[in-house]
Copies of this chain bind each other. A is one copy, B any other.
Amino acid sequence: MSAAATRTSGQDHLWSVDDHLKDILATVQPLEPIELNLLDAQGCVLVDEVTVALSLPPFDNSSMDGYAVRVSDVEGASEEFPAVLTVIGDVAAGAAGLLEVGPGQAARIMTGAPLPPGAEAVVPVEWTDGGLGGGPVSGMRARSLSPEDATGQVRVHRPVEARAHVRAQGSDAKAGDLALAAGTVLGPPQIALLAAIGRGTVRVRPRPRVVVMSTGSELVQPDEELASGQIYDSNSFALTAAARDAGAIAYRVGAVTDDAETLRSAIEDQLVRADLMVTTGGVSVGAYDVVKEALTAIGEDENDSGENDSGEGEGEGEPEAGHGVEFRKLAMQPGKPQGFGLIGPDRTPLLALPGNPVSSYVSFEVFVRPAIRTLMGLEDVHRPRTKAVLRADKALTSPVGRRQFLRGTYRDGTVTPVGGAGSHLIAALAQSDALIVVPENDTSLEPGTEVEVLLLG
């Protein structure tokens, strides 16, 4: 007789939501860092601090399209009495082999191009005649079409101070400066900085690979025909989407029938690509709750490798911390039955969620999402919480001793319940964007009460 069939001892103890979560987060460890290409690291957490290898900008360069000049050459210049300078050529962005600007000379210079030797400042093209011999111009003609503009003379209509329109080498960041601290989450601006300092790859904690598997002989794929007594599998779709939303790379495994051997083999097949496994269904007190049966055995095989080769678990007591999957009852509604543990040769974390669609979704938000974000090394692992005024026609009732999570819509500091407490109410779930948290000791919440809300958006 397997442990799953009789291990009722300890199951009458109700775990609190907080203790179950604490156990999960104390067990799940951030993934080992890997070196990823910059764009593959988007959304990931930087492991080491990154320092600036070369100064930004790497050289003094122009912040305008204009003319690189010597300050004394344009002193006192005006439109009426322009300074007339000889244009010795172009300095384009990316140019090497620089011109040298001597007295009475100017180099036409483009934004981002290095300030040539001899030049002290840049005069914007709009302060000149652009070499065309007329009044002020609004821009340059394309080099490819008017190469002659890179030579000849330019009339400068205004003086400039030294370093005007010049971005100094290192004015953005200096070599040796801290670019990004360890623990930074890499969004577009952080990726911009890493690229700018020449980092094409970066060491981060990777996105966890999460395998989502629903169980239940009653489950049928959408778009197929339902036979009598069957329903469509929705959990594997919902939780795969939710895992992605949390930051994971999620793999959906279709529904597995309620047969322990089949399930065990399906799980073992998936372990190779899983940093975290999530199952739904089969964790309660029924005679067909095969997740318990199958996972207890995998857990114990692993713990006692070599010593217990029968493939059937025998231990009746609590598994050791971090060994095998433990099934618990939680002081929570929905989501009372939960399994959690480490399985397989790599001690892969597995969360076994209840099978009712609302139960599994709420359990995901409360337990799996923080686990995924812990694997990623994020500090901010939870959904944001806020206070909201309850807007309802009548009081909400909740069983004593259970933390209840009701579905609701949050708008501007108020929350309105959607649908009832039933854990099968998917239609109402799909209209909600928040979970209303009713604490363990509250059995009734009056309209107008301030309540705690988890924002799902």
Query: Which residues of A are in contact with B by a Cβ distance under 8 Å?
Result: 1-2, 4-6, 8, 11-12, 38-39, 42, 52, 54, 56-59, 63, 65, 90, 92-98, 108, 110-114, 125-126, 137-146, 149-150, 167, 171-173, 177, 179-180, 187-201, 216-219, 221-224, 226-235, 237-242, 244-245, 252, 258-260, 284-290, 292-293, 355-357, 361, 422-430, 432, 456
Identical chains in the assembly: 2
A217 B94 Cβ-Cβ under 8 A: yes
A57 B231 Cβ-Cβ under 8 A: yes
A93 B429 Cβ-Cβ under 8 A: no
Q: A145-B1, A226-B198 are in contact. Are A138 and B92 (CB under 8 A)?
A: no
Q: Which B residues are CB-close (under 8 A) to A429?
A: 189, 192-193
B424 A284 Cβ-Cβ under 8 A: no
Q: Which B residues are CB-close (under 8 A) to A110?
A: 286-288
In the complex, what's the smallest C-beta–C-beta distance from A186 to chain B, in angstroms?
A: 8
B57 A289 Cβ-Cβ under 8 A: no
Other-chain contact of A172, B12, B63, B426 (Cβ < 8 Å): B426
How far, in angstroms, from A393 to B45 measured CA to CA in the complex? Answer: 32
Given contacts A189-B361, A192-B357, 18 further A-B contacts (CB under 8 A): A8-B138, A39-B240, A56-B424, A63-B423, A90-B287, A92-B258, A93-B216, A111-B284, A139-B285, A142-B293, A150-B287, A191-B238, A194-B237, A195-B233, A196-B426, A197-B232, A198-B232, A200-B221
B427 A56 Cβ-Cβ under 8 A: yes
B92 A430 Cβ-Cβ under 8 A: no
In the complex, what's the smallest C-beta–C-beta distance from A7 to chain B, in angstroms?
A: 9
Between A and B, 6 residue pairs with Cβ closer than 8 Å are A90-B287, A96-B227, A112-B355, A149-B287, A172-B422, A173-B427
B93 A54 Cβ-Cβ under 8 A: no
In the complex, what's the smallest C-beta–C-beta distance from A231 to chain B, in angstroms?
A: 6
Q: Which B residues are CB-close (under 8 A) to A216?
A: 93-94, 112
In the complex, what's the smallest C-beta–C-beta distance from A225 to chain B, in angstroms?
A: 9
The 7 closest A-B pairs by CB, nearest first: A139-B285, A94-B218, A200-B223, A192-B238, A65-B286, A200-B222, A94-B217
A192 B235 Cβ-Cβ under 8 A: yes
From A63, A140, A230, A285, residue with most partner B Cβ within 10 Å: A285
Q: A189-B432, A287-B142 are in contact. Are A194 and B222 (CB under 8 A)?
A: yes
Which B-chain residue is minimally distant from A1 (CB atoms)?
B145
In the complex, what's the smallest C-beta–C-beta distance from A46 to chain B, in angstroms?
A: 11
B145 A229 Cβ-Cβ under 8 A: no
A427 B226 Cβ-Cβ under 8 A: no
B11 A138 Cβ-Cβ under 8 A: yes
A39 B188 Cβ-Cβ under 8 A: no
Q: A110-B287, A355-B112, A430-B190 are in contact. Are A195 and B222 (CB under 8 A)?
A: yes
Q: Which B residues are CB-close (under 8 A) to A285?
A: 65, 125-126, 138-140
From A192, A259, A429, residue with most partner B Cβ within 10 Å: A192
Which B-chain residue is minimally distant from A124 (CB atoms)?
B285
How far, in angstroms, from A72 to B194 measured CA to CA in the complex? Answer: 74
B94 A234 Cβ-Cβ under 8 A: no
Q: Which B residues are CB-close (under 8 A) to A143?
A: 287-288
How far, in angstroms, from A295 to B26 measured CA to CA in the complex? Answer: 57
Other-chain contact of A188, B1, B167, B201, B239 (Cβ < 8 Å): B239
From A138, A223, A293, A427, residue with most partner B Cβ within 10 Å: A427
How far, in angstroms, from A54 to B143 measured CA to CA in the complex? Answer: 68
How far, in angstroms, from A201 to B237 measured CA to CA in the complex? Answer: 12
Which B-chain residue is minimally distant from A92 (CB atoms)?
B288
How far, in angstroms, from A435 to B38 measured CA to CA in the complex? Answer: 24
